[in-house]
Amino acid sequence: MSTKQLIAITPICTSYNVEVSFVATLKELGLIALTRQKEEFYIHIDEVPTVEKMIRMHRDLNINPEGIDVIFNLLERVDTMQSEMTALKNRLRLYEDDL
């Protein structure tokens, strides 16, 4: 993994005004993957939007890491169901379109 694509956790936490321990808990729960180099933890650039979303949920809505875990699982299910619904709608058109 190129270090160019890794972003240090500390500045993210400073920018969002959250404790580094919060991000550490997210890692412990398996919600995000962090890489350790020397004394600093880094996150892959592709995971930044996810961790930002988690931070916003924590900061804006007072949701703890366990709650975030539950929400993310549910959102994933909503997402799957939405794709299924789109596929089903497209399939339903087969019977609705009268030639």
Partner 1 sequence: MAYIDYYKILGLSKSASQSDIKKAYRKMARKYHPDVNPNDSTAEQKFKEVNEAHEVLGNVENRKKYDEYGADWKHADDIKKARQQQQEQQRQYSSQGGFTGADFGGGDFSDFFESMFGGRTSGGSRSSTTFKGQDYNAEVQLDLKEVYTTQKQTLTVNGKNIRITIPAGVENGQVIKIKGHGGAGINGGPKGDLYITFAIKNSTRFRRVKSDLYSDVSIDVVTAVLGGDITVSTFDGKVKLSVKPGTQTDSKIKLKGKGFPKYKKEGQFGDLYITYKVKVPTQLSEKEKELFEALKNIKDHEH
**Nearer to partner 1 among residue 27 and residue 47 (C-beta):** 47
| 96/98 Cα distance (integer angstroms) | 6
> Alpha helix (H) ranges present in the chain?
9-16, 20-28, 48-61, 65-96
Return the residue of 6, 12, 23, 31 that touches partner 1, per CB under 8 A: 12
> Which span (19-27, 30-38, 71-79) binds partner 1, by CB under 8 A?
71-79
Residues numbered 17 to 56 that lie near partner 1 (CB under 8 A) are 17, 45, 48-49, 52-53, 56
- Judge residue 43's burial from the number of C-beta atoms within 10 Å of its C-beta, 0-12 exposed, 13-18 middle, 19 or more buried: buried
Q: How far is the CB of 59 from partner 1 (least distance, A)?
A: 7
